[in-house]
Amino acid sequence: MKQARFVRVDVFATKPFGGNPLAVFPDARNLTSREMQLLAMEMNLSETTFVVPPTKGSGADFRVRIFVPDMEIPYAGHPTLGTFYVLAKEKRIKLREPVTTVKMEVKAGVMPVEIHSKKGRITKVVTVQNRPEFGDEVKDVGLLAQALSLDEGDLDLERAPPQWVSTGLPWIIVPVRDRDAVERASGNAAAFASLKKVLPGNIADLYVTCLDPIEKGSTTHSRGLSLVSKNVVEDPATGSASGCLGAYLVRRRLVPISECIRITNEQGYEIGRPSRIAVEVRTAGDEIEAVRVGGTVVHVMDGHAYL
């Protein structure tokens, strides 16, 4: 019988049972792609990661395969943070304080990951995302509102129209007028499925957000809703979408602009897993040069899978 060890962590959390849970298989060399998919389905988390040797010539230190329950995806933020926290904690990465930079290979490409540490303790992990791509604005705003069980008037269309954005994994950023609209949003699976057919690239991920946070010091209050296996599911903390959101806010000039814009995005409050996600957007003139997303990680449990 084949065994595979995994580590469970909570990402964007300061204590267990907050943030976004993740299962990491730190040595997946003996697993097939089908076994990885079955394990991700069994874990039933938003994502599960599998660490394998990098592709020859990639220049990466590790290759990370990221699976949701029904498919492999090109990139995601919280799995990146959680995976490299585990690799550093298990001393597979030699820390050089205050910041150690390693290279991760994923389907979206090779990306830097920064591990911040002090006196041997990992203080946070930061994923350096791809430079943002901005796609089309969503035209069918009525269907979009219906997919979120909101009224079209809840959307902030004049100042902030919904738009496709990607910093490695594409999301539709959906700004609404206030936190009440964010809190009222709930997925309508039938409308979601219809919307998916008309969205660019059949994107099925909506990031609802507003500039009306709960916590002092936060910039935005957000929720991530996705269509998975014909059901709408909510993510407690979404690093990839937070990077897209930061780029969107800067591009639309909805936050004060400087060479280094820092944004704190809060998420997960509606489902009892409050999370705070640090986003940094660096600019040069009118161009966005870099997007970084970081946060803390908590080790929750360990286990073995038997195949």
| 152 counts as catalytic | no
Residue 172 near residue 199, CB atoms below 8 Å: yes
- φ/ψ of 22, rounded to 5, equals -145, 140
Q: Per DSSP, what are the bridge partners of residue 261? A: 281
* Angle subtended by helix axes 77-89 and 239-251, to nearest 10: 130
| Residue 296, CA distances (Å) to 46, 105, 113, 239, 292 in order | 18, 22, 14, 12, 14
Round to whole Å and give the CA distance between 23 and 79. Answer: 8
Per the rule left: phi > 0, alpha: psi between -120 and 50, beta: everything else, 194 is alpha
Q: Which residue has the tokens 């099925």?
A: 204
Q: Hey, which residues does 127 pair with through a beta bridge?
A: 113, 293
Whether the CB-CB separation of 69 and 229 falls below 8 Å is answered with yes
Cα 101 vs. chain centroid, distance in angstroms?
20
Residue with tokens 């997303």: 293
In three state form, how does the secondary structure of 217-284 look? CCCEEEEEEEEECCEEEEECCCHHHHHHHHHHHHHCCCCCCCCEEEEEEEECHHHCCCEEEEEEEEEE
Residue for token pair 């599911």:
233
Catalytic hit among 47, 105, 234, 266: 47
Catalytic residue positions, numbered: 47
